[in-house]
Every structure is written in structure tokens, then in C-alpha cells.
Amino acid sequence: MSEVKIKIENLYKIFGPRAKEYTNKVKSGIDKDELLAKYNHVLGLDNINLDIKEQSIQVVMGLSGSGKSTLIRHINRLIEPTEGTVLVDGEDITKLNKADLLEFRRNKTGMVFQRFALFPHHNILDNVQFGLSIKNLDKSESKDKAMYWIEKVGLTGFENKFPNQLSGGMQQRVGLARALAIDPDILLMDEAFSALDPLIRTDMQDQLLDLQKNLKKTIIFITHDLDEALKLGDRIAILNGGKLVQDGNAEEILLNPADEYVSNFVKDVNRIKVLKIGSIMNIDGNMNESNPSVMVDESIENCLPTMLESESSLNVLDNDKNFVGVISKNNIAEILRRSKD
Amino acid sequence: MSSESLRLFKKSVDGAYRSFSAKYGDAIEAVFDPVLYFLVWFEKLLHNSPWPLVILALLGLVYLGSRSIYLTIGSLFAFLFIGYFGMWDDTMSTVSIIGVCTALTIGFGIPVGILMSGSDRARAMITPILDIMQTMPSFVYLIPVVMLLGIGKIPGLLAVIIYAIPPVIRLTDLGIREVNKEVLEAADAFGANRMQKLFRVQLPLALPTIFAGINQTIMMALAMVVIASMIGVKGLGQPVLKAITNQYFTMGLLNGLAIVALAIIFDRVSQSYGKRMQQHRAGANE
């Protein structure tokens, strides 16, 4: 579970004809705006170091222009790095030759795009089969696989329709099925749900989490929406101006934002809903048999009714019903006060 | 340049070309033998088959291409009119040369267009050549073609192709360059190699645009038929030429109308075919 699947080390990307020459300038501390103003080169990524764990959902967040789409394209090398390494299962994919890179893309990574990028001249079945047909897989086998994924994403009966006959949400399900059909270890999702309207987006998020329970893929999910990040991400990496400013789980990001950029980002989040009891409980307290109990991985919001009815603090139990700490009204009040500042 | 040296210059270039064509004319002509053989065979087939059969076959193609019953009936009347006024054989000659010419322009034009779309340098080199081909008065390039190959079907065919091929090339290039970048990126992300991208994504998506080019090419080839008749291409152009030199107004008009009828049929069929292809290709992301 905790094996590192993708290891990104000292990754730099500068866009422009003389990118290599300017990496040293960037290393010596020039920032994005200065590089653009003085040398007319665009700084895409600035010394990114990131470990992505196997079978986890790593969210990469940032405003537009922060380099998140650039970063995800380095994992399947749709963009060549200026400097640095990207290790997948210990293999440096920046060193792969052309043929090996094609093989890598055909087998290891599936990608889902913001604006779906379906093939408009293919029907749904052929769209989902695309990656398989690129691999020259046997026809009937590839059809079976495609039909399986079409069913999994709930589009049975639409195989013979064309993309322009489907709604946005349905098109993105096709995009998801197309990526999953090649059975990749790694799923790259570039703002996959950003173009969908809110209700459908929530739906798709739930579906993704549901699928992930069984699939256990390593998912890299790009988004600019913090609620989406908090809902999906096992870990959340935040980019600003090509720099990685923080990488951590939801609690770490909310409770200990690394800088002002991150704290601005998380300012409006409903902490009560997102934070789990475990992250604010008091582990020094003692078990009191007469007090009510709550579970450590419940959200604060869920325990609020119990809390408000109770005169005292609550016992916090883990999944095996062992006592792990106490939580009091003061703990919650402090979180609420902090988010107001 | 003085008039004396200009005269010398023209003379020496002409002389050089003349000796070149004397030396290699036959060899170059031999290269075109298979085309000539096919052209003659196709023309004979159209001439010798019973006309109701030919009309039936043509109407079948019209219907398959356009799926329009009105156009098919209209074409039937056009063909009957052509036959009734004694222009059947000339029309069939024209149809055969247009057919062969279209096949050859597609065969050459699309690969050249693909080459252009893949490299900005190739595009920069080919574009001026296409400009010359389209703007140079056609009589001018008829001269070297006739000098090299004499008068006949093949030089005529070459003249028609030179005049008519640019739209296919240009629109193939344009069509491929216009393919949605995101869709191409998706193909890349799934590990498609160059050929797979070309044949599974770029060409299919460029096809409606390419077809617009083919449509224009056919129209230009038809327009060239009259001029090509001056160097011995049989067909509707010859009676038109005869009518011009002898001031036969009715003869000119009738044959001119036959060319117009063919043009309308070719145009409507290829356009509605192109439109049908477009159905699912545009606006998938909207």
C-alpha cells in the first residue's frame, strides 16, 4: 500500500527555444515573472519533488498557470522535461527511447482529459477500444474488454452512439472507460470533471471513488477545485507558479497551510465537514466510561449532535473500539475560531 | 538585357529543352503508358456498353453518393438530353478523362498534402509551386508538355492534372492541420505511433475537408476540358472549340450546357457525400 509508484525528482520545465540555458538561472532563484520579463521564457515547473504512493489518489491543485497540467504530462512524457527525472516503478521514463515510450503509454498509463477529447468519428465502442486497437489486441477480446468497461461506467446501450449524441457527463464516462480499458496501473486525470456541471460532477466523483475501491489504481487527479481535492485526494499537492508549495493530506493542508497562498486557498473550506475527529482530538485525555463515544475517522460534523447534547467531553474510539483520545467542545470551538481569522 | 542577348537567351533555353525532349521524350512517354492504357480502356468501356446500362450505372453512383431521389431523376433527364442531342460519345469521353484525372489527383495530391501537413519546411517549398500551378495561364505550360509528349491524351491529361491538383493538396494539408489538438494528444497518450495517428485520427477527421478539395478539383478539371481539347483531348471540349472557330452558336451552347450538366451532377453528388461524412465529425465537444 505504501510503496512509491511514481517518484518525481528535481523536475524542471522551461518553455522556449533556449530552455536548457536558463535552468541554472531558475536554480539560482529567478522566478516565473522575471524569467518571462527578462528572457521571454516561460517557467513551467520549478524543482518539483513528489512521491506518489501506489494505489492512492494524488491530487495536484493550483490555479490556472500554476503548472499542474504540465506536471501531469511529464508522467507519460507528453511533455519533455528540461531537467530532472520521473521514475515509475523505479524506471526513469525520461530516458525511454521512442519505442519503449509508446509501449509505456500503451500499457502503464491511461489518461482522461478536461474536454473529453473523444474521437468524434468513432462510436462509443470504438472510442473505448481505441487504446486496445493501438496495441493490436485481438478483435473479439478487445470488444469484450470495451463492453465490460462500458457497462462499468453505466453506458450499456450507448455503444453505437457517437460522442456528439451524448451529454457532457456521459462523454466523460466514455473518456474514463477508454482510459481504464487498457488496464493501466496509473490513471492520469487532467481536470477530468471540471467541465461538468456541479450535480454531474459530484456523481462522477462518487463513481470514481466507488471504482477505485476495487481497482486500486494509482490516480493522479488535477483540479482547481478544493472541495473536489479534499473529497478525492489521499494526498494533495499544491502548485504555485510552477513550484510545489505543499504536499500533504487534507488535515495537514487545512490545519498547517505552508504559506499564504495555501491558506488563501483553504480559507473558505467548511472545516467541520472535512476534518476528521482524529485530527483535532486530545490524545492525552483519559477514558471516562459515563461519557458517550465517537469514532476517530468520523467527520466533526457527524459528531456535533452528540457533542451538543453531552455535558462533558467525548471518548474517541478507533475501528477496533480501542480508546485513542478525547474530544471536547473547546477543540471544536478552536477550529471554528481559527477558520474565522 | 539587350534585345539581341534576350533573343539568344530564349533560343538557347528552347534549344536545350528541345534536345532534352528529343532524347528523353519517348522514355517519359513510356512511363505514362499504363495510364494511357487504362484511360483508353475506360473510355472504350463507356463507349461500347449499351447506353441504358451506362446511364443505370451512373444513376446508381449518383444515388449512392447523394442519397437524393430528386438529383437522381434530374441526372436521368440530363443524360437523356445529352443523348438526344447527339453528344453521348463526347460526354462519355469527358467523363472518362475526368474520372481518370480525379483518381490520379487524389492518388498524388493526398500524399503530397500529408507531407505538407507534417513539415513546415515542406509546406514552405510546395506552396509557391501550387501558386504557380494555379495562376500560370494554362496555355503556357501546355507548350513544354506538347514539346515533350506531342499532342494526344496523355499531354492533355497532364495539363488537366497540373491545373486541377492544387485544391486537393491544399485542403488535405489544411484538413490535417485543423484536427483538434486535444484529440491528437489523446491519441498520443494512448501510445499511437505516427502511422496510427495518421490513419486512425488525422485522415478520418480531415476527410470532409479533403473531400471539399476533391470537389473543387473535379470542377477545375471540367473547366480545363475545353482548353485541353486544343492539344487533342477528345470529349465535349472539341465541339466547343470547333464551334468557336466556325461561329456555330447552337453547337457551342449545347455542348457547353452538357459540360454544365456534368459539373452540376459531379458537384452536388460530391458535396452531399462530403456533408454526410461530416455528420459525426464536428462538434463532439460542444
pLDDT tens across A21-33, in order?
Answer: 888 888 888 888 8
Assigned C-alpha cell, A47: 524543482
Please state the rounded mean pLDDT for residues B205-228: 89
- B59 in A contact zone (CB under 8 Å): no
Please state the rounded mean pLDDT for residues B21-27: 85
A282 shares its domain with A263: no
Q: How many CB atoms lie within 10 A of CB A278?
A: 17
Q: What are the strands, taking DSSP E only, across B58-139?
A: none
CA distance A264 to chain B (A): 32
Q: Which residues contact A80 (CB under 8 A, 6 or more apart)?
A: A94
First to last CA, chain A: 38
Check A103 against B205: CB less than 8 A apart. no
Q: Which of B105, B92, B1 is nearest to B46 (CA)?
A: B92
Q: How confident is the model at residue B286 (pLDDT cuts 50, 70, 90)?
A: very low
A102 shares its domain with A227: yes
- A171 in B contact zone (CB under 8 Å): yes
- What does the alpha-carbon distance between residue B184 and residue A31 come to, in Å, rounded to a whole number? 32
Per-residue model confidence (pLDDT) at position A341? 58
Q: Are B82 and B65 in contact (CB under 8 A)?
A: no
A301 shares its domain with A332: yes
- What does the alpha-carbon distance between residue A249 and residue A253 come to, in Å, rounded to a whole number? 6
Q: Are A28 and A15 in contact (CB under 8 A)?
A: no
Residue A81 lies in a domain: no
CATH of the domain at A262: 3.40.50.300
Per-residue model confidence (pLDDT) at position A329? 84
Residue A303 lies in a domain: yes
Please state the rounded mean pLDDT for residues A208-231: 92
Residue A63 lies in a domain: yes
**What percent of chain B is modeled with pLDDT above 90?**
59
Q: How confident is the model at residue B282 (pLDDT cuts 50, 70, 90)?
A: low
A278 shares its domain with A297: yes
Per-residue model confidence (pLDDT) at position B9? 92
- B186 in A contact zone (CB under 8 Å): yes
- A340 in B contact zone (CB under 8 Å): no
| A291-327 tens-digit pLDDT | 888 888 888 888 888 888 887 888 888 888 888 888 8
Q: What is the CATH number of domain B52-278?
A: 1.10.3720.10
Q: Which of B75, B65, B100 is nearest to B271 (CA)?
A: B65
**How many Å is the Cα radius of gyration of chain A?**
23
Please state the rounded mean pLDDT for residues A2-30: 89
Domain boundaries, chain B: 52-278
Distances (CA, A) of A232 to A11, A50, A56, A220: 25, 18, 10, 10
What's the one-letter identity of residue B11? K
Mean pLDDT of chain B: 89
Q: Is the pLDDT of residue A290 over 90?
A: no
Instruction: Report the C-alpha dihedral over residues A106, A107, A108, A114, rounded to 10 degrees.
Output: 40
Report chain A residues whose CB lies below 8 A from the CB of B189: 76, 78, 105, 109, 111, 188
Q: Which of A281, A258, A269 is nearest to A336 (CA)?
A: A269
**What percent of chain B is modeled with pLDDT above 70?**
98
Q: Which of B209, B103, B116, B206 is nearest to B161 (CA)?
A: B103
Per-residue model confidence (pLDDT) at position A2? 65
B residues 192-221 lying closer than 8 A (beta carbon) to A: 192-193, 196, 200-201, 204-205
- What does the alpha-carbon distance between residue B258 and residue B238 come to, in Å, rounded to a whole number? 13
Q: Which of A201, A234, A204, A202 is nearest to A216 (CA)?
A: A234
Check A164 against B180: CB less than 8 A apart. no
CATH of the domain at A310: 3.10.580.10
CA distance B267 to chain A (A): 24
Residue A204 lies in a domain: yes
| A229-282 tens-digit pLDDT | 999 999 999 999 899 999 998 888 888 888 988 888 888 888 888 888 888 888
| B58-71 tens-digit pLDDT | 999 999 988 889 99
Per the structure, the complete domain to which residue A236 belongs is given by 54-73+92-108+184-269
Assigned C-alpha cell, A150: 462500458
Q: How many CB atoms lie within 10 A of CB A187?
A: 23
Residue A216 lies in a domain: yes
Residue A118 lies in a domain: no
Which pTM was predicted? 0.83
HEC profile for B128-169? HHHHHHHHCCHHHHHHHHHHHHCCCHHHHHHHHHHHHCHHHH
Mean pLDDT of chain A: 90
A257 shares its domain with A223: yes
Structural domains in chain A (count): 2
Q: What does residue A18 show for φ and ψ, rounded to 5 degrees?
A: -115, 40
- A135 in B contact zone (CB under 8 Å): yes
A196 shares its domain with A282: no
How many Cα atoms are found within 13 Å in the side-chain-facing hemisphere of A148?
A: 11
Return the residue of A nearest to B186 by Cα: A117
Q: How confident is the model at residue B284 (pLDDT cuts 50, 70, 90)?
A: very low
| A142-192 tens-digit pLDDT | 999 999 999 999 999 999 999 999 999 999 999 999 999 999 999 999 999
Residue A333 lies in a domain: yes
Distances (CA, A) of A114 to A120, A175, B175, B182: 16, 10, 24, 9
* Angle, vertex CA B183, rays to CA B180 and CA B184, nearest 5: 90
Please state the rounded mean pLDDT for residues B144-165: 86
Number of Cβ pairs closer than 8 Å across A and B?
83
* Cell 536548457 belongs to residue: A20
Report chain A residues whose CB lies below 8 A from the CB of B280: 120-121, 162-164
Return the residue of B nearest to A175 by Cα: B186
Which ipTM value was assigned to this complex? 0.85
Q: Are A313 and A292 in contact (CB under 8 A)?
A: no
A208 shares its domain with A285: no
Q: Which of A269, A291, A323 is the last residue of a domain?
A: A269
Q: Is the pLDDT of residue B80 over 90?
A: yes
Please state the rounded mean pLDDT for residues B126-135: 91
Q: Which of A269, A291, A308 is the last residue of a domain?
A: A269
Residue A25 lies in a domain: no
- A188 in B contact zone (CB under 8 Å): yes
Q: Is the pLDDT of residue B152 over 70?
A: yes
Q: What are the strands, taking DSSP E only, across chain A?
A: 4-15, 42-53, 57-61, 83-88, 91-92, 109-112, 186-190, 218-223, 235-240, 243-248, 293-295, 314-317, 323-327
Least confident interval from A284-288, A303-307, B51-55: A284-288
Q: Is the pLDDT of residue B285 over 70?
A: no
Q: Which of A269, A296, A331 is the last residue of a domain?
A: A269
A238 shares its domain with A104: yes
Assigned C-alpha cell, A58: 494524488
| A254-268 tens-digit pLDDT | 888 889 888 888 888
Q: Which of A173, A106, A182 is nearest to A145 (CA)?
A: A182
- A143 in B contact zone (CB under 8 Å): no
